[in-house]
Structure 1
Amino acid sequence: MRIDCETCPVRERHCAECMVTALLQLAPLEQRLDSDERRAVDTLASAGLITAHEAMTATARIEPWRPLRSTG
């Protein structure tokens, strides 16, 4: 069986729910950039504000959910 993200019909829309993405991630709270985030990072790189290496290795970070506490 071969799994190819390049041909996935829901690529970049449902990566967060994909078991393959979960297995390949480097850190549990890091995710691949979505298309809007990738465009923003590419814009920063083309403007010279970050290096090409920084742009290529950029990841999104999921912040841990903190439950709300009620008061009163």
Structure 2
Amino acid sequence: MRIDCDTCPVRDRQCAECMVTALLQLAPLEQRLDSDERRAVDTLASAGLISAQEAVSATARLEPWKPLRSTG
């Protein structure tokens, strides 16, 4: 069986529920970059600010949300 995420009709919208994503064994807080993030990383690599290896292995990291507290 061949699975091609590039042709998935719900790509970047339903990846969190996809069994393929679960099977890739990303760390719990790591996620694939969305299209805007991927474009930014590609731009950094094109400018020589990061290596091609860093660009390929880049992932997004979900951080726990901490609500802001009012000081006034």
Residue in structure 2 matched with residue 10 of structure 1 by the alignment: 10
TM-score, with normalisation over the residues of structure 1?
0.76
Q: Runs of 4+ in structure 1 displaced over 4 angstroms?
A: 66-69
- Any idea what the Cα deviations from partners look like across 1:26-65, whole Å, max 9, x if unmatched? 2111000000000000000000000000000000001124
Unaligned 5+ residue runs, structure 1? Answer: none
Would the alpha carbon gap of residues 2 and 65 (structure 1) be closer, same or farther in structure 2, given more than 3 Å must change? same
Provide the aligned length of Structure 1 versus Structure 2: 69
Residue in structure 2 matched with residue 34 of structure 1 by the alignment: 34
TM-score, with normalisation over the residues of structure 2?
0.76
Q: Distance in 2 between matches of 1:11 and 1:18?
A: 10
Letter in 1 for 2:47: A
